[in-house]
Amino acid sequence: LVTFKDKSGFYSVKIPKDWKIMESGVRGVSLSSVNIESPDLKVHSIKGEMDDSIYYDTGVSIHISVSNLVDEDPYKYIGQYNDLISKKNIEIDGVDGIQYIFTEPNLVEGQLIGTSVVYKGGRYSFSSGYNPKTYPEGENVFSDILDSFKFTK
């Protein structure tokens, strides 16, 4: 594992050293935004009339963002517009949060994990996409990465 620190200095997290990191930094209300992908990640989509159908073939993607929208929980409507698979309380570096595992109408193969916490005036959002049929360790990998997460500001 290697320790990754976002350019804005909000956090550090440990990830496997062969994973791909794409950092887009500050943009609008986003104070930090990072995509992390396993080397075997393959996702494809099929164009539809209304929305594209999305298929997670292999691997896992993880997104970590920090914004100043502390009152806007990005996961507050899970179960209303999405199919909720499970929900549980978690802790990220001592801060309580709720983790959701869910699917979306246009997600044909795969599932998503999302959680969000507020810390020192910032909303930290974490999400992951993977296919439990081809990447059954997806939930555990996401949990391990969250367990290594440390706030640095």
pLDDT band at 100 (very low <50, low <70, confident <90, very high): very high
Residue 111 tokens, joined: 């599932």
Q: Are 12 and 4 in contact (CB under 8 A)?
A: yes
Residue 102 has pLDDT above 80, yes or no: yes
Per-residue pLDDT tens over the stretch 25-36 = 677 788 999 999
pTM of the model: 0.92
Average of pLDDT values for 79-86?
82
Give the whole-number percent of the chain exceeding pLDDT 70.
99
Residue 64 has pLDDT above 80, yes or no: yes
Residue 63 tokens, joined: 């997104």
Strands 107-109 and 53-58: parallel
Distance CA 151, CA 23 (A): 17
